[in-house]
Amino acid sequence: MSKPVLVLDLDGTLIRNDLTFELFVLCARWNPILLIYIVFVALRDRAKAKHLLARKYGRQIDVARLPFEPKVLELIEEHKRSGHEVALVSGSDESLVKSIAQHLSINAYKGSSPGTNLTSDRKAAYLTQTYGQNFLYVGNSTADFSVWRVAKSGFGVNAPNQAYQLKTPEGAIVPVEKLVDRQNEWIALFRGLRVHQWAKNSLLFVVPMIQITNLKSADYLSLFWAFLCFSLLASATYLLNDLFDIQDDRQHHSKRNRPLASGKLSVPLAVWVSALAIPAALFVAFTIGATFASALIAYLIVTVLYSFRIKRIAVADVFTLAGLFSIRVIAGGYVVGYPPSGWLLTFIGAFFLSLAIGKRFIEVHALEEATVVAGRGYVSSDAIPLLATGAATGTIAVLALLIYGLSAPITVFNSETVVLIASALLLSWVLRFWLLAGRGEITADPVEYAIKNRTSLSILGAISLTLMFDLTGPMWQSLF
């Protein structure tokens, strides 16, 4: 009797992600109207919908960069060396299954085709007809239970515990060996929410801190809920951004480790969390105030436009990022009833434009010569212009702070000395940031660098304490 065939499932087994869901995301990114039609087709014939998606967007999936499960690849090589035939049989469209099989030098393959969605009982029937019971099956989900029951034995990859307790209709134990432990997707979700990026939402407190002597107790509660709204909405939009960037992120040396790109976070969970978080944030925003809610809606619209298109347009992307930071400052001002002045917005806009340019410079600086940033409008030769413009914009931000503190029609600071000290500290931060960026010593997001680097935190902390000492002076004087 010949050696049993090692039959591999694809989605969630050989690779950590699900290709069909990723095709739906690509369709939503490039043609939302077509997506409505595809969903309608899927309700009647899932395999046909998969085929239409694969034909339209399958070429955008780089099979060589898919998040393959290392232990499954080892299992394949082990069985090949032992003389076992290997087959790839999946519910994904056959054109994609073929591409991946060829990439891994697997000769036998079978996927779904219009009219036949090759999953569960249909997959079990196909394998029984093709191999009898002389095959070992590697799967991951409840849909594979019926396949394991007709296999000689099998392996579980991130499979539910029930997979290792299966019995045949005759009551015999199905020998399924655990190959990869079940992963905790909630940890990956937490990473995908980027909670550390909530630090950006502290910009909501800029205007309230300037007006701290005029605030009421109710204002502090409103600011707390405003911060929560922006944080919830921002995390949801980060998930949406990563969904649309899956294919591009896999071509990046570090972004390929993001939860969605690496397959550690599933597309459906990311979609559901975003779909729940966005309405929840907007609902709470309207309880704070219509003007604040309008600012939050503006932030959402600009973020979605950025994710869909603007981030792929050079220059427009960095100005949009700076605008998103400015919206936070404006929103915080309206929460407490003190709209920010033009000079304050000039300072905020210029400073965060510098950081946005820094984000792109870091990506471009890491490129090899004559290459492009995947999914962005920049090439390796843009490094010098970005470096010069970013450093100059940071210096303009310092100048705007000086004018705001010393020469604006309505000044809020009591001491010119305090403004000069704070401006000098900020200039030192800007110059240090661009010096390190130019050396290639900053490899993370600039905001992440700002809140995690000890020297950066020390300088920014000193600036904050210096300005707050001046702004809260009248409060301390009234106590004594």
pLDDT in tens, 76-133: 999 999 999 999 999 999 999 999 999 999 999 999 999 899 999 999 999 999 999 9
Helix axes 290-308, 316-336, angle to 10 degrees: 170
The answer to whether the Cα torsion of 144, 145, 151, 155 is positive or negative is positive
Helix axes 94-103, 46-57, angle to 10 degrees: 60
Average pLDDT of every residue of the chain? 90
| pLDDT at res. 408 | 65
Q: How many residues would you count in the chain?
A: 480
Which of 144-158, 401-415, 448-462 is the least confident region?
401-415
| pLDDT at res. 212 | 80
Residue 3 is classified by DSSP as P
For residue 474, pLDDT over 70 is answered with no
pTM of the full structure = 0.83
Average pLDDT over residues 385-413: 87
How many helices (DSSP H) and strands (DSSP E) are in the chain?
Answer: 20, 6
Q: What is the pLDDT of residues 404-447, one digit of tens each?
A: 888 766 667 788 888 899 999 999 999 999 999 999 888 878 88
| pLDDT at res. 388 | 94
| pLDDT at res. 475 | 54
Which residue in this structure is represented by tokens 């600071």?
A: 413
* Burial of 81: CB neighbours in 10 Å, binned 0-12, 13-18, 19+: exposed
- What is the token pair recorded at 402? 């000086």
| pLDDT at res. 252 | 78
Average pLDDT over residues 337-358: 90
Do residues 26 and 57 make contact, with C-beta atoms less than 8 angstroms apart?
A: yes
Helix (H, G, I), strand (E, B) or coil at 154: strand
| pLDDT at res. 476 | 53
How are beta strands 135-139 and 108-112 bridged, if at all?
Answer: unpaired
| pLDDT at res. 480 | 42
Which residue in this structure is represented by tokens 């922006």?
A: 230
**Complete DSSP assignment for 105-117:** T--EEEEEBTTB-
| pLDDT at res. 221 | 93
For residue 466, pLDDT over 60 is answered with yes
What φ, ψ does residue 448 adopt, rounded to 5°? -65, -40
The answer to whether the Cα torsion of 86, 92, 97, 98 is positive or negative is positive
- What is the token pair recorded at 393? 């914009």
Q: What is the pLDDT of residues 350-370, one digit of tens each?
A: 999 999 999 999 988 887 765
C-alpha span between 196 and 209 (Å, rounded): 22
| pLDDT at res. 124 | 94
For residue 479, pLDDT over 70 is answered with no
What φ, ψ does residue 105 adopt, rounded to 5°? 60, 45
C-alpha span between 465 and 443 (Å, rounded): 28
Using alpha carbons only, give the angle 116, 119, 123 rounded to the nearest 5 degrees.
Answer: 85
C-alpha span between 22 and 188 (Å, rounded): 17
Q: What is the pLDDT of residues 229-243, one digit of tens each?
A: 999 999 999 999 999
The winner for highest mean pLDDT among 174-183, 305-314, 399-408, 471-480 is: 174-183
Q: What is the pLDDT of residues 263-315, one digit of tens each?
A: 999 999 999 999 999 999 999 999 999 999 999 999 999 998 988 888 888 89
- What is the token pair recorded at 274? 């975003």
- What is the token pair recorded at 470? 């001046």
C-alpha span between 107 and 183 (Å, rounded): 30
* Burial of 328: CB neighbours in 10 Å, binned 0-12, 13-18, 19+: buried
Compute the CA torsion angle 195, 199, 200, 202 (nearest 10 deg): 130
| pLDDT at res. 409 | 65
C-alpha span between 289 and 295 (Å, rounded): 10
Which residue in this structure is represented by tokens 């002076």?
A: 473
Which of 52-56, 135-139, 375-379 is the least confident region?
375-379
Residue 266 is classified by DSSP as -
- Of 87, 69, 96, 77, the C-alpha closest to 158 is 69
Average pLDDT over residues 395-404: 92
Residue 76 is classified by DSSP as H
Average pLDDT over residues 43-59: 94
Q: Specify the long-range contacts of residues 432-441, CB closer than 8 Å, at least 24 apart.
A: 432/456, 432/459, 433/358, 433/394, 434/358, 434/387, 434/390, 434/391, 434/394, 437/358, 437/361, 437/362, 437/365, 437/387, 437/390, 438/365, 438/387, 440/365, 440/366
Q: Specify the long-range contacts of residues 25-33, CB closer than 8 Å, at least 24 apart.
A: 25/243, 25/244, 25/246, 25/267, 26/53, 26/57, 26/60, 26/61, 26/247, 27/53, 27/56, 27/57, 28/244, 29/244, 29/308, 30/57, 31/56
Q: Return all residues near 306 (Cβ < 8 A) that are at least 6 apart.
A: 241, 317, 320, 321, 324
